Amino acid sequence: MEPNAEIQIPMQKPMNRKRGNTNLFRRLYGQRYLQIMALLGVAWMIVFNYIPMYGIRLAFKEYIGVGDIANAPWVGWTHFQAIFEDDLMLGVIKNTLGISLLKLIIGFPLPIIFALFLNELRSLRFNRIVQTISYLPHFLSWVILGGILITWLSDVGVINDALMGLGIIHEPIYYLAEPKYFWSIAIASDIWKEFGWSAIIYIAAIASISPELYEAATIDGAGRFQKMWLVTLPCIKGTISILFILAIGNVLNSNFDQILVLKNQVNESASGVIDTYVYEIGIKMGRFSYSTAVNLVKGIIALFLLLLANSLTKRMNQSSLF
């Protein structure tokens, strides 16, 4: 830092104010290639991120799908008021929160536990093999997994076959046709697909813990579980809180790709979530303005949740996302 500072002093010549603007243009021209490269990115973001954001004004208009959005009449808060009168809304919110929160409660600790126990394996080779296998489902698409699930859960599928073979049930159950099973299916399959992948960050965090800490704990007479609880967990606390903040920010985003594959007209009452609702009433029924309003409310609440989780974890310990 110090030697650099000395060298940089002569380069910062006092700038003549009158010539400041021409100087800026000259400097811009000097780095014109860099500026063009940067501006191409900016242009892309304007076209594919910012113009769609501007399209949110749809929520305050009455747009029926044809013609220019700019010409559609303004209707103020009408669509937002309609959300409160929508009978389907309550069920959709219940499903979104129910599936997400249960996924969080069950699915969030599992990768941590998996990483802790993986760390206790003596054979590094076996450790690697287990890791590799556990990541694999993350790379399969939900369509493929949905295909497997639908096959397994059908009336003649593996699950019914096994349960009937064991004498637990006597009649085949149509799991995906009964709403009461949907949440369990969604949660279990999501955990199956992602727990190994989610563990990677914890595995890396655990790998960076100094071995001296474990040696000291051993000398103090700590057992395996005590070391996990008193050394490993406190060392990865920061990682856990950051991932927790991100998970809270995602509570309203149910896994759209997953739900859309597993959802059908019979399990609708348990599988309709905000995201699929927006898709169905927006794209399929053409209620563009209303579904934009629903999505906007969802986005604002999600951002609020993220900020809330961030400030809570900041208060509890020092690590936070921003």
Partner 1 sequence: MWTRDRRTRGDWIFDNLNVIGMLLICFVTLYPIWYVLVNSFNEGKDAMTGGNIYWIPRDFSLENYTTVFKNAGIMTAMGITISKTLIGTVIHVFFTAMVAYAFSRRELIFRNGYMIFGTVTLFFNGGLIPTYLWFRDLGLLDTFGMYIYPAMFSFFDLIIFVAFFREIPEGLEEAAKIDGANDFSIFVRIVLPVSLPVVATIALFHGVWQWNDYFTGVLYTSSEYLQPIQTFLYRVIAQSSSNQIVGATGGAINRTVTGQSIKLATMVITTLPIVLAYPFLQKYFVKGLMIGSLKG
Q: Which of residues 255-284 bind partner 1 (CB under 8 A)?
A: 256-257, 260-264, 275, 278-279, 282-283
What is d(CA 225, CA 246) in angstroms, rounded to the nearest whole number? 28
Please identify which residue in 15, 19, 22, 37 interacts with partner 1, judged by CB under 8 A. 37
The least CB distance from residue 138 to partner 1, in Å, is: 9
Amino acid residing at 298: K
CB 289 within 8 A of CB 59: yes
Map the footprint of partner 1 across residues 156-175, applying CB under 8 A: 156-158, 161
Q: Is the dihedral of CA 146, 149, 151, 153 positive or negative?
A: negative
The count of residues in the chain is: 322
Map the footprint of partner 1 across residues 81-110, applying CB under 8 A: none
What is d(CA 267, CA 52) in angstroms, rounded to the nearest whole number? 32
Please identify which residue in 90, 101, 120, 226 interacts with partner 1, judged by CB under 8 A. 120
Select 46 or 101, whichever has its Cβ closest to partner 1: 46
Please identify which residue in 12, 48, 74, 221 interacts with partner 1, judged by CB under 8 A. 48
Map the footprint of partner 1 across residues 174-233, applying CB under 8 A: 192, 196, 200-201, 204, 223-224
Q: Does 135 bind partner 1 (CB under 8 A)?
A: yes
How many Å from the N-terminal Cα to the C-terminal Cα in the chain? 26
The tokens describing 102, both together, are 């249960």
The least CB distance from residue 303 to partner 1, in Å, is: 7
- SS3 percent helix, strand, coil of the chain, rounded to 5, is 75, 0, 25
Could you write out the DSSP letters of every residue in 204-261? HHHHTS-HHHHHHHHHTT--HHHHIIIIIHHHTHHHHHHHHHHHHHTTT---HHHHHH
Q: Does 295 bind partner 1 (CB under 8 A)?
A: yes
Map the footprint of partner 1 across residues 224-253, applying CB under 8 A: 224
Q: How many residues bind partner 1 (CB under 8 A)?
A: 83
Please identify which residue in 19, 22, 81, 132 interacts with partner 1, judged by CB under 8 A. 132
Q: Does 134 bind partner 1 (CB under 8 A)?
A: yes
The least CB distance from residue 28 to partner 1, in Å, is: 6
